[in-house]
Amino acid sequence: MLWRLETFGTLLAVAQNLFILCMEPVNSSCASCQRCPKDPLSKIRDQTRLMERKARDLSNSYVTHQGLHRNHIDTLCHEAVPGFPKGTIVTQPEMDMLQQLYRTMVYMNQSFQVIREHQQDLNEPDAILLQELRHAHLAVRGLLSNIVCAFCVQGASPSPVTIPERPTVTKAFQQKIEGCKVLWNYARFMERLTKSLRENRKQVQRTKMGRRQGKKKKASPGC
Amino acid sequence: MMNHFGLQTLLLCVTTCFCIYHTKESCVFPVTFLNVSKNSTLQRLLVEWDVSDSARESEQEMVFEIQVSQTEEKNVVWMEYYNTTLSKLNKPLFWSWDSELPLECASHSVRIRSKVAEVWSPWSSWETVLGLDTSDDDKPLIFPEDKVVQEGSNFTFCCIGGKNQKVETIIIDTRYPVSTPKRTIVRTINKVSLGAAGGQAIACTFAGSGYKNYTGTLLHVGRLPDEPKNIFCETRDMKTAKCTWKSGNNIYISGRYLAEYKLFDWFSQKTLCFEIQASRSKEWCVCSWDIHQQMTYNFTLTAENKLGKKSVNFSFDVAHRVYPFRPSDLWEEYVSASKVKLYWTMEPRDKAIDLICQIENNHPDGKVEWHNSSAVRSNTYANIMISGLQPYTIHKFRIRCGAAKHFWKWSEWSKNLTITTKEAAPSGKLDLWRDITPVVGGRNVTLFWKQLPGFQANGRNISYEITWENLEEATEPEHISISAPHNSTRICIGYHSYRISITAKNHINSSSPSEIIISGGTGNDAEEKINATDKEERVEGTDHRIWIHWQPKDTFDGYIVDWCNFPNSQPCDLQWKRSGFNTSGVLINAVAFVPGVRYHFRVFGSVANKASLLEKKIGYSKELPPSDPDVKIIGLIPYSVSLAWDSYRTDETQPGFIKGYNIYVKSLQGCNLKGSTKYMAPDGLVWCKYTIKNPEEKRFTVEHLVPSTAYQLAVKAVTGGGETPITQTVNINALDDLNMTYLPLVLGIIPFVLITAICFWKHKWLKDCCCQIPSPDAKVLSFDGFKVASETELKVSDCIPDVVTLESKSEAKKLNLWSQRTMQEERKTAVTDSSWLSLVPNEDRDFTCSSSDSEAGIWHLKNPVYLSSAAYDSLPYQNLHMLHTSEPQPLPLLYQPQHDIEIMNKDTVMPRREAMIGDTSLIYISQMEASCSGTRLNYLYCSTEPGECLGYNPSSDLVTSISDGDLEQYSPTFTSTTGTLLLD
């Protein structure tokens, strides 16, 4: 973990240097980073924290609006769908983590597109659920943008991802269930992600404090 | 013969047998073809069958019995007779059956037989449509899928498991376990109710291996669409038409199941619109199409959803429903100060629609005028001349148009065009009036003017040109110009007659002049008067209105009433009102009129612009209750009280005409005064009321009061507005009738005095008669024949004041000298009356016998007692002076012969009286033992306790008295503010 933090710090320094380099009007990959925030990782962390709560609310709202009973959810929705990584991605190296996050968000971007289309057939144009889906979709796009920025500031770009194919669903019930599954998995993923990030952050702080104390001990060996 | 008979019989038998056979053959037409299919969405079983051609050719009426069975066991669930007349055309025969159970849920079989002439054909074989409950598929299924049903209907569904699956649970609003798991389960929900917009989810879960372990469907519960309402169609440009209608009530199903609207034209046989309601909340639906050449339509508008449809028919003539576009580009061309020409453009430019337009003219005063144009073509520049406009006035114009033929509705208004018309000379006349004030050598005439109705300034920079000329002397007219907005000025004229004229002028020209003539007058006549008395008549008003009337005279051609809106201010805002020659009154209606203010009105008669004063009036628009008089009591004697309020003003300072006064009297006993009337105040109290009707009578005596009774009095002035409530009163106590009080006392005392006098006169005789009385000390008593029977006569012991005060040292000295002299004289003078004295040293100069309770009663001590300061030191009771001095001081020789002492605190003294009598500690010193510096006085014991009253020692040596005459000569009137000692 410590190593990862150091790597993270190094990467930040690299990103900083890259940012300085970006000041030069040269034809490089940095051109796309110009509109990126200074600290995309921090942005991603903040953004996921916000999205986690929204994702949970959206999942509940979706269920309510679909005429789905709690019993439906337990039986039909709580099922893993391919598209979300298994386990926590925070424990992976940072670039891998970003790539996994990127992949998941690309999947979610596409899923939101499909869910919104399905729901437009079932709801009024001004239905609250459609608005909530739109906002969540925009948030995913924003997160994707910041992930790309996080790659960008490190002079990289995310690898192209292949989205696992989902069976084409024509029946409205199945569409609802598919949406329910995706949103439930999305909420769980975001919950795990923010929890891991939070714990990771605490650990970083603890490590920093341990380092300071170690230095102090070295300075006063008699103690 | 026999052979012939036998042949005939054989032929008959053969014919009969043939006929029977033939009839049997032709009357039975069994079904030759039967096909059964299904429409899953509609849950409809479609049945086709046919009979033989010979049957068709026979064109007989036939009855077919159709049986429908479900499941493999061929349980008949439906039976129906189908009547038809066979023909060559209706081939094959068709029948359908709507199933409550989705057809996939079970196999459905159909068989048919026919009947001709009461003879049934044999049944056809069962023709079966297989359900999916018997398929070998692994995939679980549920039917129907995404079903839309009407609110309140029953909904039947089935779940079919995969090949090796059995239904475990059904989830609707909750989880329903299936008690006996089967591969297919059928359930019916009765009277479904409205639910989620996207449909209510229904699912089944399965046990066993299969493609997946659940399946589900959606149930959409809704209503039939409403019949379209408020349909109207119109065109704006004759190129496209548009129909609009209201969709009606919520059908509770949305998304793909919303109602569809179809507008079908029967003339062209075209569906012009196919509109799907965008959302449940979208109330209005719109359909538009190109008109081309078709001008009339016969429409059927159908609203349809999955549950059914409703339609409405109507026709539409485009030419009768033209709703033009809003006119634009409105501009003006000035023709004159009162005329303007307006131009505008219309749409469409590429089509010529005959339109009429309406121009709205908004005047600045809020007045609105409308002008209609003649028919104009939409593709031309239309114009209209608007005349009769007010010069130099802002006008707002706007315009709208409608079809000239078959008017349908106006277009929207165009944008406003605001113009200011050109200037012109002022029109109309001014109304001129004046107020004349005599001054030395002439008259000041204050001129007032206002614009008469119809007057228009018609331009900027208005000024008022005033000219006055002497009508008796040939002099040059004088002139003055006053700029607006001034509306008054003052000029000075002589005693001659003058003509004064006024015109309004702008930079174009002047208005017609208005004139008044002021009659000549000299000296005292210069002031306008009616007659010598100049009396003002009272008039009554209501809120903001006062009616002024006068005696009309034939000589006048009109009347003028003037008044001041603010009579107590300067300038008073003079107003005037004119009325015709045949009037005798005018209603002055002024918002400025304030209740409680007295207004003065002058009525002038006018002839040939010359006005003369006729009458004067005063009045209030509304009288108010006046202020209360300041009442003073000018006399209070037993049985009556006199009140006066002389200073009370009855003039115009009052908010109404004072009509008189009401005097109110009240006691605790209520109203029982003679000559009064009872009056119950709003608060319920009863008062005696006296009324004075003369405003100048400002005194009143209330009589018949009951002595020693408290009364409340109030005086209220009365106007037409009434009087103020009784809030402040004058309180009095009716005096006692002393004659009645003292008469019994006097009658009691006289006999006592007479007896006493007789006793004194015959005292020796009495002495001889009675037992012997011990003689006082002969040394002390030098007066012959004078003895004091202290215990029997001296009543000092009854009460001793706790404070005794002498007024001043000078007086004390005087008294001192007096006392010395008197003491010597006293030896020679027989004391004939008792005197009273009790002394206590005051802080510096006075002796005060104080009482802590100033409200205490008064005790009278008899017999004179002299207190000497010389004796003070030897006084064993130091508490005499402790009342008011912190340190004992030598008492100056002070005494004051007094013949009466009032000692306060009677109540507190009384209880101690008995205790102190006989107190042997008291020292009683003869005054004859006093040194030259003072006379020995009897020591009075003053307790430190408030109000303690002590007697003198009955065993004392000497008590002397002085005469009343001496006391009166030397004793100053003694008044103590503390009320402890009073000297009469």
Minimum-distance CB partner of B218 among A124, A127, A173: A173
Name the more confident of B718 and B930. B718
Question: In the structure, what pLDDT confidence band is assigned to residue B920 with cuts at 50, 70 and 90?
Answer: very low
Structure tokens at A16: 């900083």
Q: Are B530 and B551 in contact (CB under 8 A)?
A: no
| Average pLDDT of the segment spanning B557-565 | 93
Q: Which residues contact B683 (CB under 8 A, 6 or more apart)?
A: none
Where is pLDDT greater, at B927 or B186? B186
Instruction: Summarize pLDDT for B504-548 with one digit per residue, the tens.
Output: 999 889 999 999 999 887 655 555 666 545 678 999 888 788 999
Strands B354-362 and B394-403: antiparallel
Best of A61, A64, A65, A72 to mutate (most B CBs within 10 Å, chain B): A72
Rounded to a whole number of angstroms, the distance from the CA of A160 to the nearest CA of chain B is: 32
Q: Is A65 in Cβ contact with B201 (below 8 Å)?
A: no
Using the predicted structure, report yes or no on whether residue B773 has a pLDDT greater than 50. yes
Query: Does the beta-carbon distance from A173 to B216 stay under 8 Å?
Result: yes
Give the pLDDT of residue B465: 95
Distance between CA atoms of residues A42 and A153, nearest Å? 13
Residue B255 in this model has a pLDDT that exceeds 60: yes
**pLDDT tens digits, one per residue of B21-71:** 444 445 688 888 999 999 988 889 999 999 888 888 877 888 999 999 987
Q: Is residue A149 over pLDDT 80?
A: yes
Chain B interface includes A125 (CB < 8 A): yes
Residue B795 confidence (pLDDT): 45
End-to-end CA distance of chain A: 29
**Cβ distance of B198 and A75 shorter than 8 Å:** no
For residue B254, the chain A residues in CB contact (below 8 A) are 122-124
Residue indicated by tokens 């002590």: B950
Residue A74 corresponds to which tokens in the numbers above?
């337990």
Chain B touched by A82 (CB under 8 Å): no
Smallest CA-to-CA distance from B689 within B702, B679, B700 is with B679
Q: At what angle do helices A172-219 and A2-22 cross, to 10 degrees?
A: 100
The partner residues of B430 in beta bridges, in order of sequence, read B451
Give B577's strand partners.
Answer: B561
Which is higher by pLDDT, B9 or B428?
B428
Q: How far apart are CA B60 and CA B64, in angstroms?
A: 12
- The upper half-sphere exposure of residue A73, i.e. CA atoms within 13 Å in the direction of its Cβ, equals 17
Q: Do A66 and B201 touch (CB under 8 A)?
A: yes
pLDDT given at position B931: 37
Q: Which of B30-39, B254-263, B949-958 has the lowest average pLDDT?
A: B949-958
Torsion of CA B584, B589, B593, B596, to 10 degrees: 60
User: What does the pLDDT read at residue B824?
Assistant: 43
Pair B388, B367: CB distance under 8 Å = no
Between B917 and B564, the more confident residue is B564
Q: Which residues of A touch B199 (CB under 8 A)?
A: 67, 122, 172-173
Pick from B11-25, B365-379, B900-914: least confident = B900-914
The pTM assigned to this predicted structure is: 0.50
Q: Identify the burial level of B157 via C-beta atoms within 10 angstroms of its C-beta, where 0-12 means exposed, 13-18 middle and 19 or more buried.
A: buried
Of A66, A76, A126, the CB nearest to B279: A126
Instruction: State yes or no: pLDDT of B753 exceeds 70.
Output: yes
Look up the ipTM and state it.
0.70
Residue among A72, A119, A126 whose CB faces B201 most closely: A72
Confidence of residue B701 (pLDDT cuts 50, 70, 90): very high
- How far apart, in Å, are the Cα atoms of B801 and each of A71, B301, B897, B950, B971? 107, 121, 15, 8, 19
Chain B positions touching chain A (beta carbons under 8 Å): 145-146, 169, 171-175, 195-203, 205, 214, 216-218, 254-256, 278-281
Query: How far is the alpha carbon of B97 from chain A, nearest alpha carbon, in Å?
Result: 26
Residue B798 has pLDDT above 50, yes or no: no
B-chain residues near A174 (CB < 8 A): 216
B-chain CB neighbours of A120 within 8 Å are: 255
Residue with tokens 């614009």: B451
- The pLDDT confidence band at residue A29, using thresholds 50, 70 and 90, is very low
User: In terms of Cα–Cα distance, which of B145, B141, B134 is closest to B210?
Assistant: B141
How close B215 gets to chain A, by Cα (Å)?
8
Q: Taking the mean position of all CA atoms in its chain, how far away is CA B798?
A: 73
- Integer-rounded Cα Rg, in Å, for chain B is 65
Query: pLDDT, tens digit, for every residue of A68-110?
Result: 777 777 778 888 888 898 877 877 888 888 999 999 999 999 9
pLDDT of residue A133: 96
Q: Does A181 touch chain B (CB under 8 A)?
A: no
Q: What is the pLDDT of residue B950?
A: 36
How large is the average pLDDT for residues B448-464? 89
* Distance separating alpha carbons of residues B862 and B833, to the nearest angstrom: 9
Question: Mean pLDDT over all residues of chain B?
Answer: 76
Contact A124 B145 (CB under 8 A): no
Measured between beta carbons, which residues in chain A are less than 8 angstroms from residue B198?
65-67, 119, 122-123, 172, 176
Rounded CA-CA distance B655/B593 in Å is 13
**Residue-level pLDDT at B889:** 40
Nearest to A123 among B202, B214, B254 (CB): B254
**H helix count then E strand count, chain B:** 8, 57
* Torsional sign, CA A11, A17, A22, A28: negative
State residue B957's pLDDT score.
36
CA dist list (Å): B585 to B549, B581, B607, B622: 4, 10, 17, 19
How far does B181 lie from chain A, in Å, by closest CA? 18
Q: Are B482 and B489 in contact (CB under 8 A)?
A: yes
Q: Which range is least confidently modeled, B216-220, B283-287, B586-590, B941-945?
A: B941-945
d(CA B163, CA B211): 10
pLDDT number for residue B763: 77
pLDDT of residue B813: 44
pLDDT score of B391 more than 80? yes
The span from the CA of B839 to the CA of B805, in Å, is: 6
Let me know: does B667 contact B714? Beta carbons within 8 Å.
no
- pLDDT computed for residue B782 by the predictor: 43
pLDDT at site B771: 54
Burial class (CB in 10 A: 0-12, 13-18, 19+), B587: middle
- Here the tokens at position B110 are 């159909």
Residues in B touching A67 (Cβ below 8 Å) = 195-196, 198-201, 218
Contact between chains at B217 and A171 (C-beta distance less than 8 A): yes
CA distances from B67 to B35, B48, B99, B134 (A): 13, 13, 13, 22
**Least confident piece of the model among B73-87, B171-185, B229-243, B885-899:** B885-899
Q: Chain B contact for A103, CB < 8 A?
A: no
Q: Is the peptide bond before B571 cis (omega within 30 degrees of 0)?
A: yes
Summarize pLDDT for B618-633 with one digit per residue, the tens: 999 999 999 999 999 9
**Phi, psi for B765 (deg, rounded to 5):** -65, -35
Residue B828 has pLDDT above 70, yes or no: no
Task: Provide the shortest C-alpha distance from residue B258 to chain A (in Å).
Answer: 10
CA B666 centroid distance within chain: 38
Check whether B319 has a pLDDT greater than 50: yes
Q: Does A131 touch chain B (CB under 8 A)?
A: no
Strand order in the sheet with B308-317: B270-276, B260-265, B296-305, B308-317
Structure tokens at A183: 């949103």
Asked if residue B600 has pLDDT above 50, the reply is: yes
| Gap from A104 CA to chain B (nearest CA, Å) | 25
The pLDDT of residue A28 is 38
A72 and B197 in contact by Cβ < 8 A? no
Checking if the pLDDT of B431 tops 90, the result is yes
Q: Is B8 exposed, middle or buried (0-12, 13-18, 19+ CB in 10 A)?
A: exposed
- What is the DSSP track for B449-499? EEEPTT-B--SSS-EEEEEEEESSS--PPEEEEEETT--EEEEEE-SS-EE
* Residue closest to B698 by CA, chosen among B626, B629, B627, B623: B629
Taken in order B363, B367, B372, B377, the sign of the CA dihedral is: positive
Q: Is 60 exceeded by the pLDDT of residue B809?
A: no
For testing contact with chain A, the best of B167, B192, B218 (most A CBs within 10 A): B218
pLDDT of B837 reads 35
Distance CA A141, CA A94 (A): 20
* B169 pLDDT more than 50: yes
What is the DSSP track for A47-105?
HHHHHHHHHHHHHHHHHHHTT--HHHIIIII----TTS-SS-STTS-HHHHHHHHHHHH
The beta-strand segments (E) located in B869-972 are: 902-903
Residue B424: C-alpha distances to residues A9, A96, B418, B449, B458 (Å): 88, 90, 19, 21, 5
* Two tokens, residue B9: 């019989």
Short-list B578, B425, B395, CA closest to B504:
B425
Lowest mean pLDDT, pick from A121-130, B267-276, B784-793, B960-969: B960-969
Residue A19 has pLDDT above 90, yes or no: no
Chain-centroid distance of CA B70 in Å reads 77
Interchain pair B145, A127: CB under 8 A: no
| Cα–Cα distance for residue pair B486/B939, rounded to 1 Å | 96
CB contacts of A126 in chain B (<8 Å) are: 279, 281
Shortest CA gap A116–chain B (Å): 13
- Which of the residue ranges A197-206, B550-559, B660-669, B862-871 would you say has the lowest mean pLDDT? B862-871
- Measured between alpha carbons, how far apart are the two ends of chain B, in Å? 194
Q: Which residues of A touch B205 (CB under 8 A)?
A: 75
> Minimal CA–CA distance to A40: which of A155, A148, A189?
A148
- Minimum Cα–Cα distance from A72: chain B residue: B171
Percent of chain B whose predicted confidence (pLDDT) is above 70: 72
Higher pLDDT, B685 or B883: B685
pLDDT for residue B278: 59
Q: Which comes out higher in pLDDT, residue B142 or B924?
A: B142
